[in-house]
């Protein structure tokens, strides 16, 4: 991985100890901390904060104002909506932290909150504004506060296709 060079005129901070893949775009005023590894073809929006010791796979999109704390692991092809917030401290201010895991192909809606240690299953969807306090099974859609299974990914994809047509 080569040293990251932002597009001309873009002001952000990428720690020199971060490893950034090819074709990564990091927008204005974003932060990427030390020992973070970002795969190829990733987009990180303005004002996003990707803290230290984070792992992000290939082909991900993290929208603006998202917060990704230390120890978070994000798979390939993941979408994280604007202002989504991950947490890593079940009992603030404990010195012991645990990261969330987002498996390949998952979608996290805008302003969703993900509790520490939660696993978001492969190809699952977290509805906007949801508060996820438990693991999300693969291929399921969760919504609400606290988030509960609403339907499966197949139904989500049908609804999305109908909306788009």
Asked if residue 1 belongs to a domain, the reply is no
Contacts of 127 (CB under 8 A, 6+ apart): 109, 112, 141, 142, 143, 144, 147, 150
Asked if residue 59 belongs to a domain, the reply is yes
Give the chain's domain count: 1
**Residue 7 has what pLDDT?**
63
Asked if residue 24 belongs to a domain, the reply is yes
Which domain, by its residues, includes 117?
Answer: 13-164
CATH at 143: 2.160.10.10
* Helix/strand/coil for 157: helix
Q: Looking at residue 102, what DSSP letter applies?
A: E
**Residue 55 has what pLDDT?**
98
What is the per-residue pLDDT across 64-89, written as a single tens digit (0 to 9) for each? 999 999 999 999 999 999 999 999 99
pTM: 0.92
Q: How far apart are CA 86 and CA 83, in angstroms?
A: 10
Asked if residue 30 belongs to a domain, the reply is yes
**Residue 3 has what pLDDT?**
63
- Upper half-sphere CA count for residue 58 (Cβ side, 13 Å): 4
**Residue 17 has what pLDDT?**
96
**Residue 11 has what pLDDT?**
81
What is the per-residue pLDDT across 35-55, written as a single tens digit (0 to 9) for each? 999 999 999 999 999 999 999
**Residue 2 has what pLDDT?**
57
Asked if residue 76 belongs to a domain, the reply is yes
**Residue 4 has what pLDDT?**
65
Q: How far apart are CA 30 and CA 64, in angstroms?
A: 8
Contacts of 144 (CB under 8 A, 6+ apart): 127, 130, 131, 150
Which residues in the chain land under pLDDT 50? none
Asked if residue 3 belongs to a domain, the reply is no
* Helix/strand/coil for 160: helix
């Amino acid at each position: 991985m080569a040293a990251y060079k932002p597009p001309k005129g873009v002001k952000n901070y990428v720690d020199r100890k971060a490893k950034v893949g090819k074709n990564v775009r990091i927008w204005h005023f974003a932060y990427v901390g030390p020992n973070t590894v970002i795969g190829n073809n990733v987009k990180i929006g303005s004002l996003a904060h990707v803290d230290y010791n984070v792992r992000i796979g290939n082909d991900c999109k993290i929208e603006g104002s998202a917060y990704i704390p230390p120890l978070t692991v994000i798979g390939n092809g993941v979408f994280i909506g604007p202002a989504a917030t991950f947490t890593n401290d079940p009992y603030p201010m404990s010195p012991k932290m645990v990261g969330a895991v987002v498996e390949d192909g998952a979608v996290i809606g805008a302003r969703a909150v993900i509790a520490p240690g939660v696993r978001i299953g492969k190809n699952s969807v977290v509805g906007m504004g949801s508060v996820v306090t438990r693991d999300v099974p693969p291929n399921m859609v969760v919504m609400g506060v606290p988030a509960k299974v609403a339907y499966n990914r197949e139904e989500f994809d049908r609804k999305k296709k109908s909306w788009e047509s």
